[in-house]
Structure 1
Amino acid sequence: MSLGNRTILVVDDEPRTRQGIRQTLEVWAAGRYIVETADNGIDARDRLLQGRVHLLITDVRMPEVSGLDLIRSLKGEVRKPVIIVISGYAEFEYVQQALRLGAVNYLLKPLDKGELVQVVEAALKQEEEQQRHEKLEKLVDHKLMEIDPDTAGMGEPVKEALAYVEQHLHEQLTLAEVAGMIHLNASYFSVLFKEQTGVSFSEYLSRLRIQRAKELLLQTRLPIGEIGERVGYRTDKYFIKVFKSLEALSPSRYRQQMKDERSEIQ
């Protein structure tokens, strides 16, 4: 697992606590993680905006911008770090608020080094699972996942059509051609297909092609144009247009984005 570019940010206005956490984690990490510090919530927020932080460890009470304010400011961010909060025994109500705001765990002062490492390890495992889940979300098409040929409502003609499309995805398929293969009138087949799958034939074909294209983008180094051809598109331009309409980014950007995330979590 390559973790050298993953970052832990420690935020505490008490120098002794802040440096103590940093030193403990640097010894434990042995170069596997980057450990950074901030002595106030304002600098911490700036750092969080500058680049990816995977784990945030913050005191709940600090002057000007508290740890709670810092956590609240992350609301709505797409890629939030996992959060551990630090507090004194008399501040447990703040811990409860932090947990409601999304913190995954807490540490009470004075900190125990063994407990610190244990809690950090658990939080980083959770962060890694979140990363994998996010990646899976980008890879799978949920509408396709909902189409199950084994469901009771799926008739044989539509099952045959799904199987035929799977096997001939690289060809120039049309609704009329597939309808003819299963000996149905094209108009009737169109209605039947949407009724039993929940999507039109053309939408299904596009989604399946783009799903296959995503797999090829991740698993091979094939040029974009060749991938488009392999999933049934005659021109790069049209392939890119359909890909963007479903994924909101180009095939090359998708490949790069997924490659960047894979390098973080492998």
Structure 2
Amino acid sequence: MVVEDEPWIRSSIVQMVNLIDGDFVIASEARNGEEAWTLIQELWPIILITDIMMPTMDGLTLIEKIVEHNIPMTFIVVSGFDNFQYAQKAMHYDVSEYLLKPVDMNQLHNALKRSVQQIGHISSMNELLLRFQKLLDGMDPMDTPTLFKKMSGLIESVLRLTFINESAKFNLLRIFEQKLCSLINEESSDAALVGLNKSMSDLTIRQHFQTLTEKWMIRRHHEEKTNQNYIMKKACEYIHIHYMKDISLTEMAEFTCMSISHFSLWFKRYTGKTLVNYIHETRINKAKDLLRETRLKVYEIAEQVGFTTQPYFIRVFKNTMGLSPNEYRRSLGL
């Protein structure tokens, strides 16, 4: 995940990561720590590349929050300031990579390679977090017995882990608990934890998560969706009008009069996509129209639909369509 408030710098870093050889995939982008914190709890990235000085929540505060919540992740800090105090505070949170702007491609590549060496069991824990998120995202059409069975199986998978110590296992369960609590009490993404502690037996832990799942289902059964669906419909209409702008989670939360976490939750329920993916899809559809109906050059289309650079546009287009923009045109005989 790349977190940077300057759009052109953020796009540049994303582009460099995409050009680097290796299994690096951009999970998402954010313009400040608050947006990133919400997205992290949906996408569970393994490596965070973040600026320090940002509005709303700065990069070091974001890292501090991630560390406090024991989310398995490794960090690369980028900054326009060669400031020892910043670097010293970053080191306090086990940030081993501190790059100065403008970010050099080779330096970023080396920092990413070193980060991979530090990951250790993070990737395995990340797989469980993604499995947990998939369960949360797919709960709406799921019948109650299937949901309880899947949740029980997931908790059992954590309890049977052998490659991490008991403390790391407990931290993973606490992340699950906090996420469930935030869904039960949607207005607050930092809902207080409700009882999980290290003295619990495996049986008590299983019962605890069964109780949370019950509360979750009761909440989902009784909540009224109609008004929220109308608000999300208006949000989608706004995106289709302003897709060429640098639309952020913060902007959309303000537009819908919701908190960032509440908007993100409801938007994903309504569309099945994160905000970034939905915007990309909208831009690519508009780009396809321009490729079919005009003779505009690829870089002109990229600019018109809201991509800051042509290479980034081509990358997203190819990931979406399986063809480059020019190949798409040729496939239509144009």
Give the TM-score of the pair, scaled to structure 1. Answer: 0.46
Give the TM-score of the pair, scaled to structure 2. Answer: 0.37
Structure whose alpha-carbon radius of gyration is higher: 1
